[in-house]
Amino acid sequence: MKISNIQQVTMAKTLQLFAFLCVTFFVQHTLFAQGEALFKSKCSSCHQIHKNGTGPMLSGARQRWTDAGEGDLITKWVQNNAALRASGASKRAAAVFKEYGGSQMSLFTDLTDDQVNQILDYADAQPKDDPAKAGANGGVQDPNATAVTEEEEGGLGFIWIVLAVFFIVIILSVGGVRRQLKVASTGDESYNQLTYWEELKTIAWKYRGITGIVGLVLTIAVVVVVFKSLYSINIMENYQPSQPIAFPHETHAGINGIDCKYCHNSVAKSKHAGLPSVNVCMNCHKQISGDGKPFAGEVKKIYAAAGWDPSFGPAGGYRNTKGKPLVWNKVHVLPDHVYFNHSQHVVVGGVDCKQCHGDMTKMKETAKVLPIEELNKVEGNIKLTKATLTMGWCIECHGAKEVTIGDGKNGYYDEIHSRLKKNKTLYKQYLANDGKLTANELGGWECAKCHY
């Protein structure tokens, strides 16, 4: 007796259905992932999903525009809200602008219609009371709260579940076929009485060697995944908050060769690198107004912040208004319990900005946290494997970066360095490990050095 045709057809259909479901899930997942990434990098500094913040909550935004009879205009709004408002074509635009006291949303002329839709799809698909998601999207002003991995891990978990179901179906189908074959070959109908579970147990026992190995591999896999996800808690690679002015590093530090320290003037002296005040911009931009160039609008924002009026007097002048300070959003952010010091790294450690921030002289957009793969591509960088800004990243570099001692760059360290130099046995012992003296051997792996 053969497997009946009907059975073959049902099996084929089940497999097809699952293959189809898998493909759909994968496609949906990638589209969502894009929407999610865009939301995080462009919108999350002002918008939350389910709560009004600087801007209105994004879930249901499309519905609100559709209700106003302007569902097709929402993409235009996101791309260039100023133009849409100016055109007077949208009542919703005027209303929401008024509701938010006339505070300006940034322009996103670089986003395509599809990308805007991906963001809005993503926003609408977020369940309201999922605590993990709520945590991830709430309090977005603090990028630490944007636990990207948590969500991505959730997304991955989804794929794993689909795959698991897929394999269970295959196993069950194969079990069914086996059962039919057994009944056919032995003529013993009692096989049909076995439940799947009983049969599975029999098979598992028969192939106990393989079952054991598979079990072991699965256990190890789970342990590894759990450890990896713990190591990458709070990953914020690619984080790029929106900024008040589209300031490109390439134009300044690259093409015009302005030294990093001109603007980040405390980087060699203190813990903080510091950000330039509007006066620093004005040193040059009093002259460079960008008139007739595409970026004239951006320079006007500098003038507004400084209270400068180029048409005041013969050469322009400061109006009495105070202006409003430029508030740059912080891009690289460590949690409060971590101590990080720039001068320690840049001066004493001799680590180049590129190692941690990438080549800013080629950065065409505003700054962002570069993923470790990007940092590894920069020439001269030590290659690391752990995600940027995680504890694993700091630790890994401290174990790899060689330290030159006693070059008199910093009193405190000179003292530590010279003490080490005098302690010849210890020094030799350090060198004996790997032939070099690394940051960890000077205490770079001590919890208290990095944690308050």
**Which CB atom, from 8 or from 277, has the smaller least distance to ligand HEC?**
277
Beta bridge partners of 338: 451
What residues have CB less than 8 Å from 27, skipping those under 6 apart? none
What residues have CB less than 8 Å from 212, skipping those under 6 apart? none
User: How near is the Cβ of 428 to ligand HEC at its closest, in Å?
Assistant: 18
User: How near is the Cβ of 425 to ligand HEC at its closest, in Å?
Assistant: 19
Alpha helices in 39-147 (DSSP H): 61-67, 74-79, 81-87, 91-99, 113-124, 131-137
Asked if residue 351 binds ligand HEC (CB under 6 A), the reply is: yes
Asked if residue 147 binds ligand HEC (CB under 6 A), the reply is: no
User: How near is the Cβ of 46 to ligand HEC at its closest, in Å?
Assistant: 3
Asked if residue 347 binds ligand HEC (CB under 6 A), the reply is: no
**Helix, strand, or coil here: 321?**
coil
**Which CB atom, from 110 or from 129, has the smaller least distance to ligand HEC?**
110
d(CA 303, CA 326): 11
**Which CB atom, from 18 or from 143, has the smaller least distance to ligand HEC?**
143
Asked if residue 249 binds ligand HEC (CB under 6 A), the reply is: yes
Asked if residue 285 binds ligand HEC (CB under 6 A), the reply is: yes
Q: Are 245 and 367 in contact (CB under 8 A)?
A: no
Q: Are 143 and 239 in contact (CB under 8 A)?
A: yes
Place of tokens 């990438």: 358
**Which CB atom, from 7 or from 41, has the smaller least distance to ligand HEC?**
41
- The residue within the footprint of ligand HEC, chosen from 49, 302, 306, 420 (CB under 6 A), is 302
- The residue within the footprint of ligand HEC, chosen from 140, 360, 370, 420 (CB under 6 A), is 360
Asked if residue 150 binds ligand HEC (CB under 6 A), the reply is: no
User: How near is the Cβ of 241 to ligand HEC at its closest, in Å?
Assistant: 8
Taking CA 207 as the corner, what is the angle to CA 205 and CA 212, rounded to the nearest 5 degrees? 85
Place of tokens 């699952």: 18
**Which CB atom, from 7 or from 106, has the smaller least distance to ligand HEC?**
106
d(CA 303, CA 307): 6
What does the chain come to in residues? 452
What residues have CB less than 8 Å from 408, skipping those under 6 apart? 414
User: How many amino acids of this chain bind ligand HEC (CB under 6 A)?
Assistant: 106
Asked if residue 437 binds ligand HEC (CB under 6 A), the reply is: no
User: How near is the Cβ of 139 to ligand HEC at its closest, in Å?
Assistant: 15
Beta bridge partners of 402: 438
User: How near is the Cβ of 323 to ligand HEC at its closest, in Å?
Assistant: 13
Asked if residue 349 binds ligand HEC (CB under 6 A), the reply is: yes
DSSP state of 366: S
Asked if residue 45 binds ligand HEC (CB under 6 A), the reply is: yes
- The residue within the footprint of ligand HEC, chosen from 84, 119, 140, 306 (CB under 6 A), is 119
Which of positions 214-243 make contact with ligand HEC (CB under 6 A)?
233-234, 242-243
Beta bridge partners of 451: 338
- The residue within the footprint of ligand HEC, chosen from 59, 81, 137, 343 (CB under 6 A), is 81
Q: Are 79 and 38 in contact (CB under 8 A)?
A: no
